[in-house]
């Protein structure tokens, strides 16, 4: 696919987008002395590049860091959803205290940390009880059988 969209860097330090090969004035200072610094296939890609290019350095790093974290969480979630029961068992193990106890609160926290909205902690504990993995020790406490 051809790259028809250009990220223009102006001498004032600003960045803006333009169709490739056209001379447009900088929206920051009005100069036409900018240069094409990068080419893109779609206007959406160009828009993201312009937005990130005009962010102050510290903020740009913070935004990139947060985006990377969100991508990693999404990848982890996708991997775990493919992992099925093994992933849920791993989360159950991470939710277990050093005394071998699991609570709904601990499991809920771990499921959310791992990016799971479904199944809920109650559903996981219920299934684990039925499968003979957990046994209820008290109203809100479960322990491993295996």
Q: How many CB atoms lie within 10 A of CB 109?
A: 14
CB 27 within 8 A of CB 14: yes
Top-tier CATH class for 82-144: mainly alpha
pLDDT per residue as tens digits for the range 84-117: 778 888 999 999 999 999 999 999 999 999 888 8
DSSP state of 24: -
DSSP state of 41: S
State how far the alpha carbon of 19 is from the alpha carbons of 7, 33, 81, 97, 107, in Å.
9, 16, 41, 59, 52
pLDDT per residue as tens digits for the range 45-89: 999 999 989 988 888 888 888 988 988 888 766 655 555 778 888
Q: Taking the domains of the chain in order of start, what are their residue ranges?
A: 5-54, 82-144
pLDDT per residue as tens digits for the range 21-36: 888 999 999 999 999 9
Q: In this predicted structure, what is the pLDDT of residue 108?
A: 94
Q: In this predicted structure, what is the pLDDT of residue 106?
A: 96
Counts of helices then strands in the chain (DSSP H, E) = 5, 6
Task: Indicate the pTM of the whole model.
Answer: 0.46
Q: In this predicted structure, what is the pLDDT of residue 82?
A: 52
């Amino acid at each position: 696919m051809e790259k028809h969209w250009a990220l223009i860097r102006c001498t004032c330090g600003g960045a803006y987008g333009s169709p490739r090969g056209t001379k447009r004035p900088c929206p920051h200072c009005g100069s036409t002395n900018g240069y094409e610094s990068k080419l893109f296939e779609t206007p959406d890609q160009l828009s993201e590049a312009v937005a990130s290019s005009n962010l102050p350095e510290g903020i740009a790093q913070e935004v990139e860091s947060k985006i990377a974290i969100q991508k990693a969480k999404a990848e982890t979630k996708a991997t775990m959803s493919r992992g099925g029961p093994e992933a849920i068992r791993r989360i159950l193990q991470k939710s277990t205290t050093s005394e071998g106890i699991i609570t709904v609160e601990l499991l809920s926290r771990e499921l959310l940390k791992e990016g799971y909205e479904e199944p809920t902690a109650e559903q996981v504990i219920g299934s684990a009880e039925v499968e003979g993995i957990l046994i209820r020790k008290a109203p809100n406490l479960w322990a491993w059988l295996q």
